[in-house]
Structure 1
């Protein structure tokens, strides 16, 4: 098994390299071709996995995680905005911390591989993935099987157990010791799925998960729960007739063991998961802001109540900032960008690496959501080259833009990025 560790937007090549790094790595020809084919398949649905630069080089997209090619090459992709850019373990710890708070996001799945897990309270995302796979399994059909049953009855059925019948005590000669086969759904795989489903029904708080879990519970109601989960997992069959059970097994294991998948090298055998870092960063910032904001502040993610313009009486071009924070009569619009800034590039030409289109976007948010009066915040990850908020960007006397760093390790926004500093004390973090 060949392992390659890189980070977002790294370049992969089939050419020999004098020295491999997190930004450039060598992969076999077979892995290179598989990545190209997989990217072409995903591109048909509007997604992208890699960007082909030429016949020997390709560049990864902004997804982190792990994927394994059919030839056995495992590619681990780590976040780029990490202090100590060559510290792989630190990047893994940071990724695990961020995913633990914001796993309810879309993933990109490829083939099976080994994923590390960590113990954590079950998230709605994990339960939703399990329910989705179980729903597909039930629609394709729950597998029945013959099982041997030994019991006492007043009638003969199947085979009479002569030895036990001869030892029958007086007064019970009217009962027959019989052994026969029953064709039903009581088999190890179904018992484990029923046990996991019962746990989801008890702890889920998401309305869609609650509804689907109780719908599926009616289908598995005749199946008993597992009494020995370790033994049932060992007896889980993986032959051709049970192929449609295969995708549900890793999620069932996670539910029963109360673990959470992390998209790096480890011990969980399941679908390769690639997480979009822009969405991970956005959800991580949201989770941290909810803990840091004052109790009377209201955080609205993906606000969608304003449009850029109207035409013939209809509203056109919906404006959706990442976050809208309101405290009393005061509003603040926040937008997150997963990008590295450099404070030293403050000249008129480099502009710290900021994007002009982002400023246009924030200006439109300020006009529609803040009525042209207030504070806009553009949030970037804190790095060695971006430690403190930049000087304010002034649109006019009443509207300003703050470009602030977000500390990924501490889960904190710069203390002076918002008007109400009281909510950002050390105790609130």
Structure 2
């Protein structure tokens, strides 16, 4: 990989690039990422202004290597823990050995994939029966009579055969080989690059990264390949350039990179936090039926909260009756400023659509570095109480398990 000029900035920060640092191909790729809301590229008199949105990660271009570090809420040393929690995969032990600066996110994800792949190698790669057609000097498997007659009629020094042998060259292993190769282009650590290269040489590879992604989307886990799930989770993250099916909305980048949309990550974190915190209280998550708006110009629109919790009924209402608590994830600095009017209106709508009339309660969960925090907003009108919005600030310096315990103790 040719040497590239490093450019480092934090999320929501910008950097001025010289005109010669971006090739026309880079400009096209950055504009494609801008259309997906990952960053903003604007032309200035002295060059280009590159601004990161709520995105962290690494972007490898033709002449520069852009590193976007988490600056808002989740510290770099904790990002891998929260990411693993959102993905539902164990926190990789080997990832803690790699520095989190200045290339932490990409190196941590690559190290997480490497750890899982090395574990699979120690246990032995899964093998399955694969059909092959080959030309052999002796008979193995079945003789391909049609091929033998049409291509080598009357000659028996070379036999066209069909074999059905157990091999490691199967889809479960190919996707990992492709992901290890993709990780090589992102990491800046020589030691990690050597380890990735050694592991990539053992695993078979899919023809293209797109073929590997298609194989991952078709994978169904059974007792035979369940141990591959954590490795496939990290492989999917790398091959999609940061986006994960059912987690992040990014469908992959047109540039080599590993970009993570922090708002989507926080939504996934809140869904799991709320679900696990409600369990001890007899609550559980339910699929939310969307609130529909009809009668406007165009088609009807539907919106729903990030999480809808079903909880046991209030005292005196009987155990059979349950109440609904809408919860919304906000990747905003609500530890520094008040809740916006738009978010208040949104949560009041959720309360009206889901919560009971007697208890119009809803909740906002936002990241807050440096301690948990809780406050309640009371919204009143001329007819009385319209709703109560609990604003819960989760300490992102803590572990996800500690956050679950805290939310469980203050869950409204």
8 Å contact kept, 1:148–1:179: no
Secondary structure of the corresponding residue to residue 392 of structure 1: strand
Change (3 A) 1:82 1:6: same
Aligned residue number for residue 326 of structure 1: 310
Once the two structures are superposed, the pairs formed by residues 21-420 of structure 1 within 5 Å of their partners are 29-31=20-22, 34-42=25-33, 47-55=36-44, 56-71=48-63, 73-82=64-73, 90-91=75-76, 93-103=77-87, 116-118=110-112, 147-151=134-138, 179-180=157-158, 182=160, 192-194=169-171, 196=173, 233=203, 244-245=207-208, 247-248=210-211, 258=231, 260-261=234-235, 272-295=257-280, 296-300=282-286, 303-308=288-293, 310-311=294-295, 316-328=300-312, 329-343=322-336, 352-372=337-357, 373-384=359-370, 387-395=372-380, 396-397=384-385, 399-408=387-396, 409-411=398-400, 412=403, 414-415=406-407, 417-419=410-412
Tell me how many residue pairs correspond in the alignment.
297
> What is the CA distance between 1:94 and its match in structure 2?
2.2
Distance 2:373 2:160 in 1: 70
Distance 1:61 1:317 in 2: 26
Secondary structure of the corresponding residue to residue 151 of structure 1: coil
Secondary structure of the corresponding residue to residue 192 of structure 1: coil
TM-score, with structure 2 as normaliser: 0.57
Change (3 A) 1:59 1:271: closer
Aligned residue number for residue 135 of structure 1: none
Structure having the higher Rg: 1
Change (3 A) 1:78 1:393: farther
Change (3 A) 1:102 1:121: farther
Cα RMSD for the two superposed structures: 4.8
8 Å contact kept, 1:307–1:368: no
| Gaps in structure 1 of 5+ consecutive residues | 16-27, 84-89, 105-112, 123-143, 159-176, 200-228, 237-241, 344-351, 420-429
Secondary structure of the corresponding residue to residue 354 of structure 1: coil
Cα deviation digits, residues 365-407 of structure 1 (max 9, x gap)? 11111244332111110124x7411343334536211111022
Secondary structure of the corresponding residue to residue 263 of structure 2: helix
| Higher share of residues assigned helix | 2
Cα deviation digits, residues 209-230 of structure 1 (max 9, x gap)? xxxxxxxxxxxxxxxxxxxx98
8 Å contact kept, 2:17–2:50: no
Q: Which has the higher contact order (CA 8 A, sep 6+)?
A: 1
Distance 1:325 1:64 in 2: 30
> What is the CA distance between 1:14 and its match in structure 2?
1.8
| Gaps in structure 2 of 5+ consecutive residues | 89-105, 118-130, 150-154, 177-198, 217-226, 243-254, 313-321
